[in-house]
Amino acid sequence: MTFVKTRDLAKYEDKEVTLKGWVYQIRDHGKIMFYFLRDGYGFCQITIKKNIVGENDFKIAKEIYREASVIITGTVKKDARAEGGFEVLASTVNVWNPSHPQIDQEVTPESGPDVMLDKRHFVIRGRRTRAILKYRSDALKYFREYFYENDLFEVTPPLIVETLPEGGSDLFEIKYFEKKAYLSQSSQLYLEAAIFSLGNVFTILPSYRAEKSRTKRHLSEYTHVEAELSWTDFDALTEFMQEMLVYVIKRSEEDSEDVFSDLDVEPFKPKTPFEKVPYRKALQIVKELGWDIKDGEDISDAPERDLVAKFGNPIYLTDFPVNMKPFYHKISEKDPSVTLSADLLVPVVGELIGSGERETDLESLLKRLKAMGLNPEPYYWYTDLRKYGSVPHSGFGLGFERFVQWILQVEHIRDTTLFPRTRFRLRP
C-alpha cells in the first residue's frame, strides 16, 4: 500500500488515498466525527461518517484519544474551510494505537516551563514546536547548499579533544580511559588543519560549553556551523558570511513558507552591506544608550542587543583589543592593539557569529597561547600548521540555535532545539 502525505493532498482531488499519522484533535458530533490528523508533513481534516465507514469502524474511531496513531483510507475532497483547502472523507479507519485518556493531563495550558521541559517528548508534537523543528531541518539544508555551491567540503572532526580553541573556562571535562579529555568547544583548530588537505571546509556538529549563566541564548550543547577558508583575508571573510546569511534567508522565504505561516512571523529582510562597527566606537554607542562598559570589558547580552536594535540590521563588531580575544586571531598590521576579528550581531539574539582572520605568525601564536594559560605542548600539531606551508586563512563559527531564534523570533533558545541541554536540564 502506498501512503500519501498530507501536504500532497491537492494532487489527489476526488481520488482515494491512504494516510497514516496521529490524531492531533478530535471533534465528536454524534454520527459524524472529525479528526485533525498530523503526519509529520502537515495537518489535514478527516471527516468520519457512520453511514460511510460502517458500525464497526465508527465504533473504533470513537474509542480513541488524542495522539492515537491511525491509518485512514478515504476520498480527497475540496473544502475551502479545511486546512490546505482539502479534507479526506474516510471510508475505513484503522487504529494502530488508541493512545490513553491521560493524554489530556500530560501537558495543559497551565503547565509551567519545567513541566513543559519534562514533557518535551509531547511538546515537540505540538504545532509550534513542529514548525520550529521543521525549520531547523530546512535551514541546515540551506547552509549546506551555500557551502557546496561555494566549493567547500564537509568534514567531521572529533568531539573528544585535548586542545581548546576558546580557553579554559566553560569546559566539560571527561575521563578518557587513563587520561583527561574535554568535550569540544569548537572544531576550528581541526578545520584549520583540514584546509591543507581540502582547501575550504565546513562542519556542522555539536559544541559544548559548561555555561553556568542562565540566559535565553545559552545552551550547554549547541549546533555549531563552522567554516574555514584558505587564501582568504578578513574582508573577504566578512563578505562570505554576509552572502551566506542573505542566501539562507532568501531560501527560507522561498521554501519554508509553511513554517512562517504556522508561526505567524515575517522572514527578516537584511540590508547589505552589514555595517562594520569597531569595538571602541560600539562602547561609545552603548554609553549613549545608558550602559557604562569600560574599555577592555565584554559587551554583555543586554547592551549587545540594544546596540544591534539601534541598527535594526546585522552588524559586524570589529577591532577587538588583542587581550579580549583568543590566541588564534590575527593581530592587525595597521593597529597592533587590535585583532582582525568580527562578531556578527543580529536583532533579537545579539552575537550570532564569532569570526576572524587567523594568526600565521608562530612566535605571536605561542606567546598568546601561554598568555591564555594554555600549555603549548598538546598544540604541537596546530603550531606545525604555521611551519609547513602556512597560508593566510580565515573562518567563523555560527550558533545555529541562535540563528533559528533570530529568524523565527523565538523568545528562549531552549525552544529551538529537540531536547535542550542547559545548566539544570539533562532529561529527557
Q: Which of residues 163, 184, 186, 405 is near ligand 4AD by CB under 6 A?
A: 186
| Helical pair 400-408 and 127-149, crossing angle rounded to 10 deg | 120
What span, in angstroms and rounded, lies between the C-alpha atoms of 112 and 132?
A: 20
Task: Establish if 192 lies at the interface with ligand 4AD (CB under 6 A).
Answer: no
Does 347 help bind ligand 4AD (rule: CB under 6 A)? no
Does residue 352 bind ligand 4AD (CB under 6 A)?
A: yes
Q: Return the number of the residue (21 or 165) whose C-beta is nearest ligand 4AD.
A: 165
Instruction: Show the cell assigned to 166.
Output: 576558546
**Binds ligand 4AD (CB under 6 A): choice among 106, 211, 258, 306:** 211
Of residues 160-179, those binding ligand 4AD (CB under 6 A) = 165-166
350 binds ligand 4AD (CB under 6 A): no
Segment (H or E) for 204: strand 200-208
- Return the percent helix, strand and coil in the chain, to nearest 5: 35, 30, 35
Q: Could you tell me the three cell numbers for 109?
A: 495550558
Tell me the window of 134-142, 152-160, 218-226, 292-300 that interacts with ligand 4AD (CB under 6 A).
218-226
Q: How far apart are the two ends of the chain, measured CA to CA in Å?
A: 35
Asked if 184 and 198 count as a contact pair (C-beta separation under 8 A), the reply is: no
Work out whether 393 is an interface residue with ligand 4AD (CB under 6 A): no
Residue that is written with C-alpha cell 541546515 in the block:
140
Q: Measured between alpha carbons, how far is 314 from 196 in angstroms, rounded to an integer?
A: 32
Binding piece for ligand 4AD, criterion CB under 6 A, among 59-67, 101-109, 215-223, 314-322: 215-223
Q: Is residue 314 close enough to count as binding ligand 4AD by CB under 6 A?
A: no
- Name which of 123 and 225 has its Cβ closer to ligand 4AD: 225
Among 182, 399, 406, 417, the residue binding ligand 4AD under the rule CB under 6 A is: 399
- Asked if residue 395 binds ligand 4AD (CB under 6 A), the reply is yes
Binder of ligand 4AD out of 402, 406, 410, 417 (CB under 6 A): 402
Q: d(Cα 160, Cα 174) in Å, to the nearest integer?
A: 9
What is the nearest approach in angstroms of ligand 4AD to the Cβ of residue 364? 18
Q: Taking Cα atoms as reference points, which of 205, 238, 228, 223 lies closest to residue 147? A: 228
Q: Work out how close the CB of 286 gets to ligand 4AD at its nearest, in angstroms, rounded to a whole number.
A: 18
Residue 304 grid cell: 549587545
Report the side by side order of strands in the sheet with 350-357: 153-154, 200-208, 221-230, 393-399, 350-357, 341-346, 315-318, 275-278
Taking CB under 6 A as the binding criterion, the range among 26-34, 47-55, 222-230, 241-249 that sits at the site for ligand 4AD is 222-230
C-beta of residue 230 within 8 angstroms of C-beta of residue 391: yes
Q: Is 226 in the site for ligand 4AD (CB under 6 A)?
A: yes
Judged by the rule CB under 6 A, the positions of this chain that interact with ligand 4AD are 165-166, 185-186, 188, 209, 211, 218-219, 222, 224, 226, 351-355, 395-397, 399, 401-402
